[in-house]
Amino acid sequence: MKTKNFAYGLAALVAPLILAACASAPATKEAADTSAEASDSVKVSTDLAAPLERRATDRWKLLIAKDGARAYTYLTPGYRAKKPEKEYIDWVLARPVNWVSAAYQQHTCDTKESCKVSMFLGVETSIRGVPGMQQAFAEVSERWLQIDGVWYYLPEDA
């Protein structure tokens, strides 16, 4: 019984660290081909002038579906100019966790064109020594910029 409690306690301590790794800088890794089937099944707004809440939620829908190519279009134009699309897609596919849910919480704006968005994420991952998939939930904060009337995500490593 102590071993089981220890394993669950360890999972509770490690899960937030793993979730924090979700927001880390893209890694350079070779990855499998993206799935067209996943891309076609995810419905997101085609309105580039959609409100911030919608853009942030749509981006996470694409990340959950591992559709890095479409999620890449939500990055700021400046970030895309320095980060190749293939590298971003590889990063999405190589994550050590599976994103399973994302819910918009709130946003606060420093200016009309710069806001912090809070998203509540759910992930699944395997933890060595703990049977089955483990779930973790945490709130993450993202910087979004409005450029020419369109909201874009600015990764922390920009």
Q: Which residue has the tokens 């979004």?
A: 144
End-to-end CA distance of the chain: 46
What tens digit of pLDDT does each residue of 88-112 get? 999 999 988 899 999 999 999 999 9
Ordered domains of the chain (ranges, CATH):
2-24+45-154 (3.10.450.50)
What tens digit of pLDDT does each residue of 107-152 get? 999 999 999 999 999 999 888 898 988 999 999 999 999 999 999 9
Q: Which residue has the tokens 């483990």?
A: 134
What percentage of the chain reaches a pLDDT higher than 90? 65
* Mean predicted lDDT score pLDDT of the chain: 81
CB neighbour class for 20 (10 Å; exposed up to 12, middle 13-18, buried from 19): exposed
pTM value is 0.74
Residue 111 has a pLDDT of 97
Residue 68 has a pLDDT of 97
Is the pLDDT at 19 greater than 70, yes or no? no
Three-state SS for 141? Answer: strand
Return the half-sphere exposure (C-beta side, CA atoms, 13 A cut-off) of residue 17: 6
In this predicted model, which residue has the larger pLDDT, 98 or 24?
A: 98
Selection from 1, 153, 3 nearest residue 78 by Cα:
153
Q: Which residue has the tokens 């704006």?
A: 109
